[in-house]
Structure 1
Amino acid sequence: MGLEREARLGIADYVVFAVFILSSLTIGVYHALSGGRQRTTKEYLTADKKLKVVPTSLSLLVSFQSAIMILGYPAEMYMRGAQLYIGNIGMLIGTILTTRLWVPLFYNLQITSTFEYLHLRFDSVAVRKLGSVMGIIATVSYMGTATFAPSTALEAVTGFPVWASILVTAGVGTIYTCIGGMKAVVWTDVLQSVIMLGGILAVIVMGVVKVGSVSKVFEICQEHERLNFFDFNFDPTRINTFWTIVVSDTILWWQVYGTNQASVQRFCSLPTLKKANAAVLLAVPMQFLLITMICFAGLVIFAYYMHIGCDPLEQGIIQTGNQILPYFVMDTFRSLPGFPGLFLATLFSGALSSISSGLNALSAITWEDFLKHRFRHLKESRKALCTKLLVLFYGICSTGVACLAILIKGPVIQASQTLGGAINGSTAALFILAAFTVTSNWKGALTGPIVSFIIILWIAIGGQSIKGHNQYLPPGPTDRCDILNRTSFYNTSVLNNVTSSYNDTIETLTVYDGDLLNRSSTLEPNDQELTGIQHLYGISYFLYAPLGILIAIVIGLVVSWATGGEKGRYIDKAYIFPLCDALCCCCPSRVKDKGCACRGDNNPRQENGVERNVLRDTKFQSIKTANEESRC
C-alpha cells in the first residue's frame, strides 16, 4: 500500500492543477464582465470582429490538439516509429491551400456558420441542414471522447474517479465558454497553449537527462528501428506509409483550418482578410513545433526504457501504449513536487481547448442554421442568451457521451469515433462539390455525401472485426525489469481497474474531431493475414476521409448530371473558387481575364442587360434573407 501512495499526486500537484482550472475560469469571468458583456450575438460568437492575429493563431493551434493527441502521438512513436511525423508535410500543404482558397472565400462572404455557404451556393435549405447535422454529430462525439481520454489517465495515476474528472473538465469548459463567449475561448486557448508546451518540454528535458543526450536518444531509436520516417509502400492496408499519411493529413488540415466551423468562426472574426490569412499561416510553424515536441517526447520515452532495459508495455506493467506518457511522468517526476500536476494540467489544457472550441462552434451552427430565423423578433440581448443556453445544452450532451464510455466501455466510443470518421469525408465533399464544380446541384450534393457516409461507415465497422492488424515494431527488452522492480513506481492496482475502459477508448482516438485514424495501442502477437473482403476492411484508417471524399464527389457529379445540373440557374462567382487567380498568380493577365470561365460565369459582364455586380449584390441579399426565413 505504501507503493501506491508513492504513485499518487501530492498536495503541490493538486495546487498546480487547481491554479490552472481557476485561471481558465477567471478568464471567462473577465470577458463576461468586460467590453459589451456578451450582450449581442455578434460579440458572443465573433468577438465583434476584433480578434488579434497572434491569440487567434494560438487558438487555432490548440483547438485541434487535444489530450488525445498528447497521449496518442507518443504511443505511436513508441510502438510504430516516427512515420507519423511525416504528416507535417501534409499539414503544410493543406494550410497553404486553405489560405489561398477557403479563407478568401468565407471571409469575403462574412458568414458565421460555414453551412450558410452551402445554402448560398445551392439555394437549398436541405443541403445546409445536412451539413449542419453532420457537423453537430461529429463535434459532440469528439468532445465527449476528448473529455474521457484525460480522465482515464488521471484515474490511472491518482485514483481520482473518472466520472468526477469528466464533470470537472466538462463543467469548467462549459462555464467559461458560456459566460465569456468567443473572447474567453480564444484567451483561455492562449493560456492552455503555453501550459501544453511547458508540460511537453518538461517531459523532453527529463527524458534526455535520464538517457544522457539527444544524440543518445536518436542512437537508441535508430537501433530499434523507430526512425522509420520514409516508407514509400503503396499498399493501402499499410497503416503508416508516406503516401497515406501525406495525402490524408493534407486533406485533414485543409478541412480543419478551411471548412471546420471553429476555424472559420475565428478567422472571420479578424478585422481584415490579410490578418485572417496571417493567423492561419502563423499557426503552421507553431503547429510544426508542437507536433515535433510531442513526437520527440515519444522517442525520448522509448529511448529511456530501452536504456534502462525494461519495456513496461512488453513486461505488462502497463496495458496500453497510451499509458506510456503518464507512466513515464509518474516514474521520473515523483521526486519533483508539482511536475506531475503540470502534466495533468497539460492533458486537461488539450481537453478544455477542444471542448470550448467545440461548444462555441456548436452554438453558432445551431443558432445560425436552425434558430435564428425563428427568433428574429427577439431583442438582441435575448438572442445572445439563447446562444449561451445552447453552449450549456451541448456541454451537457458532451458530458453524457463521455459518461457513456464508462457504462458501456469500448463499443460506444468506437461507434462514435467511427461515425465521426465517416462524417468527415462526406462533409468535406459537400464543400468541394459546392466550390469546385459549377454543374453540381442540390440533388447531387445531398445524394453523394449520404451514400459516401453509409459506405465508409460500413468499411469502418468491418475494420473493427480485424484483429492483429496493428503492424507494430518489435518491443524492447525486459531483462532488467526484475532488477529495477519497475512496478514500484506505478499504482498498478489502480491501473488495472481502468485498463479495459482506457484501452477500449483510446484504441480508437486520434488528432481531430471525429476523423479518427485509429491509432490503437494494444499489442497483438502477429499481424492477421487478410483475405477476401478483409482487404477492403483492412485499408489504413488514414484513407477513410480521402476515400469518402472520392465516393461522394463521383456520386454527387453523376446524380447532378443525371438531373440536369445547374442549367438555367446563374451561379455567382462569389460562391465558386477563383482558381485561376488563387493558384495561377504568376499567369499572364489574359489567362486571368478568362478565369471567369472556370467559375461558371459564361457571360461575365451582363445577364439580361443588367450588370452582373449589381445582380450579385441583389441575389446575395435575397438568398441571405431566404436563409433567415428558412425558404427552400
Structure 2
Amino acid sequence: MDSKLTLIVITSYFLLLFLVSWLTSKNLSSDTFFTGDRKSPWFLVAFGMIGASLSGVTFISVPGEVGNTNFYYFQVVLGYTVGYAVIATLLLPLYYRLNLVSIYTYLEGRFGFWSYKTGAFFFILSRTLGSSIRVFLVAGVLQLILFDHWGIPFWLSVLITVGLIWLYTHRGGIKTVVWTDTFQTFFMLSAVLVSIYLIAKDLDITSIHQLVNTVASEPRSSMFNWDWKEGTNFFKQFFSGAFIVIVMTGLDQDMMQKNLTCRNLRDAQKNMFWFTIILVAVNLVFLALGVLLFLHADVNQIPVPERTDDLYPMLATSYFSAFAGIVFVLGITAAAYSSADSTLTALTTSFCYDFLQIDKHYDKKESIQLRKKVHLFFTMVVFLMILVFRWVNDQSVINAVFIIAGYTYGPLLGLYAFGLFTEYRVKDRWVPVAAVTAPLLSYIFAANSENWFWGYRFGFEILILNGLLMFLGLWLLREKENATEMFSPR
C-alpha cells in the first residue's frame, strides 16, 4: 500500500477528530471534562461504546482467532448479554442514585478509605497496562505500513499519535470522547463490512443468503465446545463472558463514565440495552470476516502467517485493492484510538477524584489546571509504557501483561459483590492485603489446575475464582456493624 496515500488518510482522519473536538469544546463548564454535563444522547453513547469495547486487538485478533478456535469466542459474547443485564438493572441504578462521577466513590461510603483507594488503584493499574499494550500492538502495524517508509522511528511515531489524542481530548474530555467514539465506531464497522463485501465479490458470492450459507457451511464456523476440560468449553466461556462484562464494563470507570453522561437512568439503561444488541451482532460479523479471510487465502493459495493475527493486516495491505487498504487503515486507526482516548479521560477522572479529591480541596480555577496536568501525566505514562513493551519485544511477556491486567479486576469484582449482596462492613485497613492475596492465590490455582483437578484447565473463568477469593477474604474481615442506609445493598 502506498505510504503517501496512507499518510493522507490518517492525517484526514485526525483532522476530522480535531473538528469534532473543537465543536464539542464550546461553552464548557467546570464539570464538562468529567461528566459531559450529563447531556449525551443515549443512542450516541450506545453506538460510540462499540468502538471503545472493540479495541484494535479485537479488530485484528477476533478474525484471526477463527483459524485457531473457530467461532468459540461467540460463546463469550453470548455471556456478555447476561453481564450487561446485570449492569443495567443493578449497577446503573446504584451509580445514578448516588450521583457518582467516579464509580469507586461508592467503596468509600460502603467500606472506608482503604477499600476506596484499593478499588481505584486496581482500575488505574489495569487500564494503564491494558490500554498501553493495545495501542502498542496496533502502533506496530501502523509503523510497518506507514512510518517505516518515511524513516520515522517508533518512539517518535508513538509520541505523535499519543500527542494527537491528548490534543483533541484535553479540553472537552468525556464530552469530546462520546462524539469521537461515534465517528471511530463508524469507521471501524465500515472497514469490516467493506472487507466482507470485497472478499465475497472475489469468491463470487452474490447475495447475503449465499454469504450466510458459505460461512455456516465452513468447519471454522463451529460455535460450541462441550468438552469440560478445554478452556473454550461453552459453560466456562459463557459464564466468564458474563463476569468479564460486569467487571470490565460495569466496574470500569472508562466504560461507566460514558454511561453516566446520559441525561438520566432511563436513558442510560436504554443505551445499555441497544448497545448489547449491536455488540452481539458486530462480534458475529467479525467472526464471519475471519472465515472469509481464511477462505480467501485458501482459494488464492496465499500462505497463512504463523501468527493468525497477522492475516487480516497482511491481506488488506498487500493483496486487497488500494481502496480496501485505505478502509483497513481507517478501521485499525479508529479501533486503536477509540480505546486510548477514553482511557486517558477515565484515568484522569479517577486520579483527580479518587486520589486528589479535586472536587473537595480545589477551587474552579485550580481544579482545571490540576486536571490538565494529570491528563498530560497519564498521556506520558501511556507513551512510556508503549516504549517499554517495544523494548521488551517478547510476545510471551506481552501475553503475561494481558493476563496480569485481567487478574486485577478480580478484587474489584469481590469488593462490589460483597458490598451489594451483604450488609456487613469490613476491617477496612486489611482490604489491600486481601486484594493482593486473591490474585496470587488465583494464579497458583491456574498454574496447577491440570494436576490438581484431573486435567481441568482454567480459561477466562479464572476471573470468577479471583472474585470469589476476594469475597471470601472480605467475609473473614467482616464486622458486626452494618452498612449505612445510603450505601446499603437494599
| TM-score of the two chains, using structure 2 as the length reference | 0.91
Q: Distance in 2 between matches of 1:243 and 1:197?
A: 29
Q: Distance in 2 between matches of 1:531 and 1:50?
A: 51
Q: Which of residues 335, 354, 365 in structure 2 aligns to 1:381?
A: 365
Residue 572 of structure 1 and its aligned partner are, at CA, apart by 3.5
Which residue in the other structure is 2:388 paired with? 404
Q: Distance in 2 between matches of 1:165 and 1:387?
A: 26
Residue 403 of structure 1 and its aligned partner are, at CA, apart by 1.0
Q: Distance in 2 between matches of 1:397 and 1:442?
A: 33
The one-letter code of the counterpart of 1:455 is L
**Structure 1 or 2: larger helix share?**
2
Question: Does 2:93 match 1:101?
Answer: no
Residue 414 of structure 1 and its aligned partner are, at CA, apart by 3.4
Q: Distance in 2 between matches of 1:212 and 1:52?
A: 41
The one-letter code of the counterpart of 1:128 is Y
Q: Distance in 2 between matches of 1:539 and 1:171?
A: 42
Residues 503-582 of structure 1 aligned to structure 2 (within 5 Å) = 532=451, 539-557=457-475, 559-560=476-477, 565-567=478-480, 569-577=481-489
Which residue in the other structure is 2:344 paired with? 359
Which stretch of structure 1 is more off in the superposition, 451-460 or 215-224? 215-224
Which residue in the other structure is 1:61 paired with? 50
Residue 253 of structure 1 and its aligned partner are, at CA, apart by 1.4
Q: Distance in 2 between matches of 1:458 and 1:164?
A: 40
Which residue in the other structure is 1:234 paired with? 228
The one-letter code of the counterpart of 1:456 is S
Q: Distance in 1 between matches of 2:312 and 2:186?
A: 19
Residue 251 of structure 1 and its aligned partner are, at CA, apart by 0.7
Residue 169 of structure 1 and its aligned partner are, at CA, apart by 2.7
Taking structure 1 as reference, are residues 534 and 326 closer, same or farther at Cα in structure 2, changes over 3 Å only?
farther
Q: Which of residues 64, 72, 79 in structure 1 aligns to 2:61?
A: 72
Contact 2:84 2:245 in 1 (8 A): yes
Taking structure 1 as reference, are residues 319 and 156 closer, same or farther at Cα in structure 2, changes over 3 Å only?
farther
SS of match in other structure, 2:220: coil
Residue 255 of structure 1 and its aligned partner are, at CA, apart by 2.2
Residue 319 of structure 1 and its aligned partner are, at CA, apart by 3.4
Q: Distance in 1 between matches of 2:47 and 2:209?
A: 31
Residue 62 of structure 1 and its aligned partner are, at CA, apart by 1.7
Q: Which of residues 324, 328, 339 in structure 1 aligns to 2:311?
A: 324
Residue 212 of structure 1 and its aligned partner are, at CA, apart by 2.1
Taking CA–CA contacts closer than 8 Å with sequence separation of 6 or more, which of the two structures ends up with the larger relative contact order? Answer: 2
Which residue in the other structure is 1:142 paired with? 130
Residue 457 of structure 1 and its aligned partner are, at CA, apart by 4.2
Q: Distance in 2 between matches of 1:265 and 1:349?
A: 20
Taking structure 1 as reference, are residues 303 and 220 closer, same or farther at Cα in structure 2, changes over 3 Å only?
farther
Which residue in the other structure is 2:197 paired with? 205
Which residue in the other structure is 1:491 paired with? none
Q: Distance in 2 between matches of 1:239 and 1:245?
A: 8
Which residue in the other structure is 2:376 paired with? 392
Taking structure 1 as reference, are residues 80 and 377 closer, same or farther at Cα in structure 2, changes over 3 Å only?
closer
SS of match in other structure, 1:566: strand
The one-letter code of the counterpart of 1:333 is F
Which residue in the other structure is 1:127 paired with? 115
Q: Distance in 1 between matches of 2:296 and 2:211?
A: 8
SS of match in other structure, 1:231: coil
Q: Distance in 1 between matches of 2:41 and 2:179?
A: 10
Aligned length: 482
Q: Distance in 2 between matches of 1:165 and 1:534?
A: 48
The one-letter code of the counterpart of 1:267 is N
Residues 293-442 of structure 1 aligned to structure 2 (within 5 Å) = 293-308=285-300, 310=301, 312-313=303-304, 318-334=305-321, 336=322, 338-372=323-357, 376-410=360-394, 412-442=397-427
Q: Distance in 1 between matches of 2:451 and 2:325?
A: 48
Q: Which of residues 249, 252, 262 in structure 2 aligns to 1:260?
A: 252
Q: Encode CA deviations 1:315-335: one digit per residue, 9 max, x unaligned.
A: xxx33111011112124423x
Q: Which of residues 63, 66, 73 in structure 2 aligns to 1:84?
A: 73
Residue 342 of structure 1 and its aligned partner are, at CA, apart by 2.2
Residue 224 of structure 1 and its aligned partner are, at CA, apart by 5.8
Cα RMSD for the two superposed structures: 2.4
Which residue in the other structure is 2:237 paired with? 245
Q: Encode CA deviations 1:270-326: one digit per residue, 9 max, x unaligned.
A: 221111111111211221232122111111101212223x3522xxxx331110111
SS of match in other structure, 1:100: helix
Which residue in the other structure is 1:449 paired with? 435
| TM-score of the two chains, using structure 1 as the length reference | 0.72
Q: Distance in 2 between matches of 1:329 and 1:534?
A: 44
SS of match in other structure, 1:11: helix
Residue 445 of structure 1 and its aligned partner are, at CA, apart by 4.5
Which residue in the other structure is 1:515 paired with? none
Taking structure 1 as reference, are residues 459 and 388 closer, same or farther at Cα in structure 2, changes over 3 Å only?
farther
Q: Encode CA deviations 1:566-621: one digit per residue, 9 max, x unaligned.
A: 32x342344244xxxxxxxxxxxxxxxxxxxxx3xxxxxxxxxxxxxxxxxxxxxx
Structure 1 unaligned spans of 5+: 1-7, 464-529, 578-598, 600-632
Which residue in the other structure is 1:27 paired with? 20
Contact 2:119 2:412 in 1 (8 A): yes
Q: Distance in 2 between matches of 1:361 and 1:457?
A: 28
Residue 20 of structure 1 and its aligned partner are, at CA, apart by 0.7
Q: Distance in 1 between matches of 2:469 and 2:57?
A: 29
Residues 427-506 of structure 1 aligned to structure 2 (within 5 Å) = 427-443=412-428, 445-458=431-444, 462=447
Q: Encode CA deviations 1:446-476: one digit per residue, 9 max, x unaligned.
A: 444321122234566x59xxxxxxxxxxxxx
Residue 150 of structure 1 and its aligned partner are, at CA, apart by 1.2
Residue 436 of structure 1 and its aligned partner are, at CA, apart by 1.2
Q: Distance in 1 between matches of 2:41 and 2:244?
A: 25
